[in-house]
Structure 1
């Protein structure tokens, strides 16, 4: 079974802000963003923009593919544009038809991807199929909230009740995994403004690792993994992170192993 666990990081779409608010084209990005934040605070009491006003700056994935094993990475290069990141994401679905796994992907990540793919004119036939081309997709597709082809762990574990939703950081930490490391979603705009897209990608990769590890525990709970199978899968993740050698993954591994020994 091919599995693709994914997470996105976003910033306010200042180009949209200029257009919708009628702002001068020469107004600096940070001033446009401040205008968007102020308007949102006035209407909703939060800086968090409505989903169609987000621009994607990172898409990170954990992929478990039949022919390629376990891997964690961020799509594209740090200087790639948003359209290229989104194109690569949907090309992976087209090629492998994986089970998608997310944390709040149904409530945030996928709607943002929909709006941005619409903006950039990106085709994703396999993703949008609900049985017209593949009859199996009539009964299990990416679009239905209650189908497993996309498993939104936050939504499923909450019994599809918004009042029962929990943050990934707290669930991962309760299960003995590292949780949030190095950054938070609220700091992404500042990091991008400072030219630190690489740090955002690193942060997103640790988030998607937490999601994958929680998914393994979910599979144990469902009886799809035995305790021995869970231990083997967790060890495979540790071995991969150790062999990879990138500092943020080494830090994730060290934090995890420190928890193991606690």
Structure 2
């Protein structure tokens, strides 16, 4: 289920992977040993202990960082497009092997069917390209594959091929470090597949990856995707989260595909906002939503989530951005 979108304009600094790394040790190493909290507070060894930047100073610093990002991206000398691959997986359960494990372990067995017994039932990934000097991304491909057309191994091979094709691409997920990526590594070892570059580093803060759940939370409690999306006003999940396992087992593949696509769309919006807020990209936030909506509609024209929720929301965001003053929206 691949599709190529019409080329759009976009931008991302070529070395932006280091700019939004969530690795605390990396931040300390590259900023004179200061931790992230000190950096964002504007603190250094010369600051007064009780003083901090004013709102005006903070705004100036933010504008300067955004200007630097735009200037860096617009410099055509030596700049190359940068890619981000946003991915999500849905799973079924290997109840046969889990039953054997429970029989062997008896009362010592885990109560839940944990990730080693989760099998890839559906996957979706977007390949986004950010071209120097442009303010919306190019959606190069959208892929959605499920078990009615491909096995777990075949789906994984296709995803790994996309990652191998763009070895410098950043792999973005929502909470992927907690289950999606361990499952992919299990599939690779079980079927003798070669891991793509993005999955080689086992650190949850690897520079080749961005787990947005961890990135937006920092040291706060990790939020669920629909929880965070509701808080920031982004459409999410056509079906409640806990229903997806039942949909997989009942082989309702149209709804499984729609759920997986919706998760990637929501994660992509959150990712673009996150990277823009950190000065890693300089995009037009509303027009970028239309690019995503158009590409998703072409990839899955039967998607009810795209046609009834995401596309109307994206158009509303663009219309609202053109208005001046307070914009009141229906609850």
Q: What is the TM-score of this pair, normalised by structure 2?
A: 0.61
* Distance in structure 2 (CA, Å) of the matches to 1:150 and 1:104: 11
Shift of 1:222: 0.2
Query: Structure 1 residues 241, 90: CA separation in 2 closer, same or farther (over 3 Å shift)?
Result: closer
- Does the 8 A contact of 2:85 with 2:170 survive in 1? yes
Matched, 1:54 2:112: no
Shift of 1:254: 4.5
Query: Structure 1 residues 105, 127: CA separation in 2 closer, same or farther (over 3 Å shift)?
Result: same
Which of 93, 107, 118 aligns to 1:12? It is 93
Shift of 1:233: 1.7
Greater RCO, 1 or 2 (C-alpha within 8 Å, sep 6+): 2
Matched, 1:178 2:235: yes
Shift of 1:232: 3.0
- Does the 8 A contact of 1:60 with 1:205 survive in 2? yes
| Largest Rg, 1 or 2 | 2
Question: Structure 1 or 2: larger helix share?
Answer: 1
* Distance in structure 1 (CA, Å) of the matches to 2:302 and 2:129: 21
* Distance in structure 1 (CA, Å) of the matches to 2:204 and 2:303: 36
Shift of 1:173: 2.2
* Distance in structure 2 (CA, Å) of the matches to 1:103 and 1:9: 12
1:19-38 correspondence runs (5 A): 19-22=100-103
- Does the 8 A contact of 2:121 with 2:147 survive in 1? no
1:139-158 correspondence runs (5 A): 142-158=201-217
Query: Match of 2:192?
Result: 121
Query: Match of 2:268?
Result: 212
Over aligned residues, Cα RMSD in angstroms?
A: 3.1
1:81-135 alpha-carbon deviations (Å, 9 max, x no partner): 1110111111111111221001101111101111122222222253455xxxxxx
Query: Structure 1 residues 79, 171: CA separation in 2 closer, same or farther (over 3 Å shift)?
Result: same
1:175-222 alpha-carbon deviations (Å, 9 max, x no partner): 2211221x2342223222322123211111101100000001101210
Matched, 1:94 2:168: no
1:12-68 alpha-carbon deviations (Å, 9 max, x no partner): 112322442459xxxxxxxxxxxxxxx89x955xx4x21111111011112214799
Query: Match of 2:288?
Result: 233
Query: Structure 1 residues 234, 148: CA separation in 2 closer, same or farther (over 3 Å shift)?
Result: farther
Give the length in aligned residue pairs: 229
Query: What are the ranges of 5 or more consecutive residues in structure 2 without an aligned counterpart?
Result: 1-81, 132-136, 321-328
State the SS of the aligned residue for 1:101. Answer: strand
Matched, 1:3 2:3: no
Stretch of structure 1 that moved more, 241-250 or 201-210: 241-250
Q: What is the TM-score of this pair, normalised by structure 1?
A: 0.75
